[in-house]
Structure 1
Amino acid sequence: MRIKLVQHIFAINGLWFCLTLTAFLILINLSWWQLSRASEKTGQLQRLAQLQADGALQPAQLAALTASDIDGAPLQGQARWLAPYIWLLDNQIVDGKVGYDVVVPVQAAGLARPLLVNLGWLAGTGSRDRLPQPDIAAEFSLNGLLRVDVDGLMLLGQNVENSGQWPMRIQQLAYAELSQLSGLSLFEAVLYQQQGTPFIPHYQPVVLPPEKHRGYALQWFLLAVAVLGVALAASHQGRAEHG
């Protein structure tokens, strides 16, 4: 009977040890991942600051540059809206209100291929069946930030709600799909307007700053230490009871 009790205690201790070790490793890995994200965000901010210091690009320069060269770079110039194309990017929230980002293709002076421009946020109508009708200027100045990888995540359903009329609601910016739909050979970058738009610019290239990630890393690390501390305390108490 005593042998069975000892075997039972060892089995429980072994299971407890495995669970504790697993939880500890998961929490440590989460802490390390957050530190890695902080380092990545620091690099992004440094690169964006350098691009800003180098000055804004002109549309005529884009064709000769690689995607990595233009991603995050400021751009200024003149453009003409290619009517009637307007896409409304769904599920955009500003100040707690749900609306759309207004995206249009433009012919930028000096750039052969049309460029997508995110003009900013526009409030919804309150009904999914009725889309807002943005008032787009025929010509306007470009003044914003270029981004290349903007596909985002589409959880379900189709991307474009093709009603046969404009504007059309979309779930994500997909260059190939929007090019096919409009018949335009779109340049694979999006300009996020920062100034000179009747809509509300809200795009942030870095949403969570490095400090936030470091804070999360510290939280995960302290949780890992707490798990280890509880396990050691429980083990010590168990030895005292059966000693």
Structure 2
Amino acid sequence: MMRKHTRLIGWVAAVLVITGFCLLGQWQLQRMHEKQALLDQQVPAHAQALRLAAALSAPPTLRWVEDHGQYLPGTVLLDNQTREGRAGFKLYQPFLSDGGARVLVDLGWQPMPPDRVLPPLQPPHGHARIAGLLAPPPASGIALGPALATTVQPGIWLANRMPPDEVARALGLPADSLPTRVLRLDPSLPGGYARDLDLLPNTLPPSRHLGYAVQWFGLALTVLVVALVLELRSRRRVSPDSRR
């Protein structure tokens, strides 16, 4: 009876571990497909530029946007962003177009000081012309803790991820007013910080995600094989005892 109870606990533990490994492998495959789909898209020519409102209402593919409007108060610093091997953060500023559409504008990258004391920042404000690529935001890691935290500088938030609803709430914007995409500001425009239009910045390529998926599924298979071997050995030990 005790052996049966122990075997049952062992199988429950094995199933839980196998399920966890399979879920991680599935997540890696999902990330691979998402990134490959993004890379398969063609960056639109500047001649195909749309107004912000039109681009946001179109199917969610890469869009080149040119528009006029004004920067709104509030700046979000997305932490843990690397550039050329250096740690830093990306700056995002909400923008309201003359047509009434809102978007977070990627102003570029700034290095994070070793002591993590933010340097004085001067976000843009007032009326401006924007041009850039409407694209998905940087990928988020595992969601741990609050997404945004205040800083000592008024109106500036430090984020480890950017859920649109939480960002809008922190910046005092209407609910559901921010899209899931951001505007990657044209590097040729004046102002802002170091920036480019790399579609997969600070992240792994699809091939790496496939490799990790294979590893997770391989671990799941290994646990299953070990569990089966232990089960067979346990039955062989029990079988002679049952014949006595």
Q: TM-score if structure 1 supplies the norm length?
A: 0.66
Number of aligned residue pairs: 225
Q: How do 1:1-243 and structure 2 match up within 5 A?
A: 11-34=1-24, 36-37=26-27, 40-41=30-31, 43-45=33-35, 47-49=37-39, 52-53=41-42, 55=44, 58=50, 59-65=52-58, 69-70=59-60, 73-78=61-66, 82=71, 85-92=74-81, 97-107=86-96, 111-131=99-119, 133=121, 139=129, 141-143=131-133, 145-147=135-137, 153=143, 155-156=145-146, 159-161=148-150, 163=152, 165-176=154-165, 178-179=167-168, 182=171, 186-191=177-182, 193=184, 196=187, 198-199=194-195, 202-204=201-203, 209-237=209-237, 239=239
CA RMSD of aligned residues (A): 4.3
- Structure 2, unpaired ranges of 5+: 188-192
Distance 1:166 1:131, change over 3 A: farther
Tell me the distance in 1 between the aligned counterparts of 2:53 and 2:218. 46
Which has the higher Rg, Structure 1 or Structure 2?
1
**8 A Cα contact 1:152 1:172, kept in partner:** no
**8 A Cα contact 1:91 1:99, kept in partner:** yes
Residue of structure 2 in register with 1:7 after alignment: none
**8 A Cα contact 2:168 2:178, kept in partner:** no
1:31-74 alpha-carbon deviations (Å, 9 max, x no partner)? 54345435534543464355x14847733423434xxx32xx22
SS at match of 1:212: helix
**8 A Cα contact 1:86 1:166, kept in partner:** yes
SS at match of 1:18: helix
Q: TM-score if structure 2 supplies the norm length?
A: 0.65
Identity of aligned residues (%): 13
- Structure 1, unpaired ranges of 5+: 1-10
Q: Which amino acid aligns with 1:165?
A: P
SS at match of 2:136: strand
